[in-house]
Amino acid sequence: MNEFEIINNYFRKLATSKASLNLNDDIFFDKKNKLAVSTDTYFEKTHFLNFKKPGQVIKKIIRSSISDLICKGVYPKYIFICASGNKHNFTKNNLVKISNSIKSEQNKFKISIGGGDTVKSNKLSFSITSIGYASSIIHRNKAKKNDDIYVTGNLGDSFTGLSILKNIIRTNSRLEKYFIDKYFSPELHIKFIKKLKQVASSSIDISDGLFADLKKLINKQKLSYKIYLNKIPISKQLLKLILNKKFKKIKFISNGDDYQILFTTSKINQKKIRDFSLKNKIRITKIGTMTDNKHKSIILDGAGRRISLKNKGYFHTF
For the stretch 181-233, pLDDT in tens is 999 999 999 999 999 999 999 999 999 999 999 999 998 899 999 999 999 99
Same domain membership, residue 283 and residue 154 = yes
| 4 confidence band (pLDDT: 50, 70, 90) | confident
For the stretch 230-270, pLDDT in tens is 999 999 999 999 999 999 999 999 898 999 999 999 999 99
Please give the pLDDT value at position 180: 97
Burial class (CB within 10 angstroms; exposed 0-12, middle 13-18, buried 19+) of 35? middle
106 found inside a domain: yes
Same domain membership, residue 156 and residue 99 = no
Region 148-154: what's the mean pLDDT? 98
26 found inside a domain: yes
Same domain membership, residue 209 and residue 73 = no
Q: Across the chain, what does the average pLDDT equal?
A: 94
318 found inside a domain: no
Of 92, 109, 133, which residue sits at a domain end? Answer: 133
Same domain membership, residue 195 and residue 233 = yes
Same domain membership, residue 188 and residue 72 = no
Same domain membership, residue 216 and residue 123 = no
Same domain membership, residue 226 and residue 108 = no
312 found inside a domain: no
Question: Which residue in 184, 165, 183 sits closest to 54, CA to CA?
Answer: 184
For the stretch 50-77, pLDDT in tens is 999 999 999 999 999 999 999 999 999 9
| 3 confidence band (pLDDT: 50, 70, 90) | confident
Regarding predicted confidence, which is higher, 293 or 152? 152
Same domain membership, residue 233 and residue 183 = yes
Total domains in the fold of the chain: 2
Please give the pLDDT value at position 310: 74
Of 88, 103, 133, which residue sits at a domain end? Answer: 133
Please give the pLDDT value at position 313: 65
Question: Which residue in 136, 195, 184, 137 sits closest to 157, CA to CA?
Answer: 184
Kind plus residue range of the DSSP H or E element containing 130: strand 125-133
Same domain membership, residue 252 and residue 118 = no
Angle CA(276)–CA(281)–CA(282) in degrees, nearest 5? 75
Name the residue range of residue 226's domain.
Answer: 148-300
Please, what's the b/e burial string for 92-122 (b: 16 or more CB within 10 A of its CB; e: otherwise)? eebeebbeebbeebeeebebeeeeeeeeeee
Same domain membership, residue 103 and residue 214 = no
CATH of the domain at 246: 3.90.650.10
